[in-house]
Amino acid sequence: MREFFEIGGVHEFYRLAEDKDIILRLDPYLMLLHYNIIFYINLSKLSPEERSGLLSRLRHKIVYIKKVHSVKTFIEFLKGEGEIKQW
């Protein structure tokens, strides 16, 4: 089981994101790993101005995730088995 912590606002997310190299974007979420804890912010809960500002400020760190493959082993991944979620 993995725990995910939702960040309450853009300023708190900026603070955590400032020293991170990569931020994952799985719409509508931005996620980052901090001390082995996953923090996220839900973009759909932000105003258009907040969302635009956040994406603009962190654009050089954001990696867009298109698909998520859920498999038990690397061999299953190579064979194309498992569940694929399209984002």
* Structural domain boundaries in the chain: 4-86
> Could you report the per-residue pLDDT of 43-82, keeping only the tens digit for each?
999 999 999 999 999 999 999 998 887 888 888 878 877 6
Buried residues in 13-38 as b, exposed as e (16+ CB within 10 A): beebbeeeeebbbbeebbbbeeeeee
Which among 12, 13, 50 has a CA at the least distance from the CA of 31? 13
Write down the pTM of the prediction: 0.79
In the chain, % of residues over pLDDT 70: 92
Q: Which residue has the tokens 């088995």?
A: 81
| pLDDT(86) > 70 | no
The pLDDT of residue 3 is: 87
SS3 assignment, position 81: coil
* Whether 70 contacts 82, CB under 8 Å: yes
